[in-house]
Amino acid sequence: MLPLLSSLTSETCTQRKTRYAPVSFLRQNNMLSLRSFVLFFLSFIAFRMNLCFTGIPSSLKMLSIDGHFEFDQVQVAARDFGNRYQFFPAAILHPSSVSDIAMTLKHIWKMGPRSQLTVAARGHGHSLHGQAQAHQGVVINMESLQGPQMQVHTRNFTYIDVSGGELWINILHESLKYGLTPKSWTDYLHLTVGGTLSNAGISGQAFRHGPQISNVHQLEIVTGKGDVVNCSKEQNSDLFYSVLGGLGQFGIITRAKILLEPAPTMVKWIRVLYLDFTTFSREQELLISAQNTFDYIEGFVIINRTGLLNNWRSSFNPQDPVQASQFKSDGKILYCLELAKYFHHTEGNIINQCHTRSQQEGEEVTCLSTVLSKLDKLSFLEIGLLLKRRCREIHCLSVQVSLPEGPTWQWAHDKYD
């Protein structure tokens, strides 16, 4: 029986093998076909994407613009002040007119989302997280934008009409010719109007006039569809408030009307240094909330690693005050209040010395002060340009923020105390 059973079993297995062999072969064919289809599909997508990207430069070259595109030397647009990201664009647009920007954006809009082409407006490249970069996209060099010259208007109210690619340092010099000045600006003046208005524009005047975005009368915007739109508080207000501080996500600022005020002829410039954060923050709050206070109040934190105090003393008068010579701060964290009081030649009663409550109480505080003309004060602000360039080389960041009272301010107390 066993041989017979063995024979039957062997025969049955042979039949099963014969019966299921075609099915197994069919499965193998199906798997092979599926793999081939997947490979073909992926290759097709890669081909389409490659075709799309290679077609982008040629399609942009066909645009009839006054400026020009750069497709080869694009590495300059792959860096920003933050120095953390490096994204190479497919092209850089150097516009000569607003219509160049509008035509380019309209062309990209018509290409549709399948092109995956992004656009970034770049002023002086001072973004920190790559906002002025566009990976395989188009970067618009706003400093190339040409248009009507800066024009100061004084009929109903005072403002200056400027290009979105204009630098604040140029605006300041132009407005001073008329005895005027912007109400609010940033400490570093080699930034474009469109760049700072797309963020906020914070400085030591923000406590009094608000940031720069609070001192704009009207904007000219190129939308993502390529439309050129004028907007203000009364006209297209939704777009106006969205673009101001909108990080370039709602449109590109191509022109702005900036509010002005009478410029003082003289400035009392003061720097007060503290070793104690609580004293420093208490006095900053006191000065900001006071009725008759300074016109410019800003605090910052530094580490005195390189004899910074001695370098500062050369800029002030007297150059070697008693407090500064006795202030032991090498290698320590310093808290500094930078203050400015504007006045005119006729106001001779302006104080020539700085006396703070802390100094009277004998705390570790020193004060450096001098009297400058408005233009001299601007010259000192130029020092910021050198510091910013140095920061680029050593990959450091400088962040300016406005802290409200509450948890955020308490966080600063906890961090530095």
The catalytic site residues sit at 126, 187, 298
383-394 vs 374-381: helix axis angle to the nearest 10? Answer: 10
Tokens linked to 192: 């474009």
Contact 107, 137 (CB under 8 A): no
List Cβ<8 Å contacts ≥24 apart for 213-218.
213/244, 213/245, 214/184, 215/182, 215/183, 215/184, 215/258, 215/259, 216/244, 216/256, 216/257, 216/258, 216/259, 217/157, 217/159, 217/257, 217/258, 217/259, 218/256, 218/257
Residue 212 CA from chain centroid, whole number: 13
Q: Could you tell me if 133 and 80 are in contact, meaning their C-beta atoms sit under 8 angstroms apart?
A: yes
Query: How many whole angstroms separate alpha carbon 164 and alpha carbon 171?
Result: 11
Q: How far is CA 179 from CA 151, 158, 264, in A?
A: 14, 11, 8
Q: Whole-angstrom Cα distance, residue 200 to residue 220?
A: 17
Task: Kindly compute the dihedral angle of the four CA atoms of residues 246, 248, 249, 254, in this order, to the nearest 10 degrees.
Answer: 110
Q: How many angstroms separate the CA atoms of 6 and 59, rounded?
A: 76
Taking 3-state DSSP, the helix, strand and coil percentages for the chain, each rounded to the nearest 5, stand at: 40, 20, 40
CA 399, 405, 411, 412 torsion-angle sign: positive
Is residue 61 a contact partner of residue 69, using CB atoms and an 8 Å limit? yes
Q: CA 220, CA 258: separation in Å to the nearest integer? A: 12
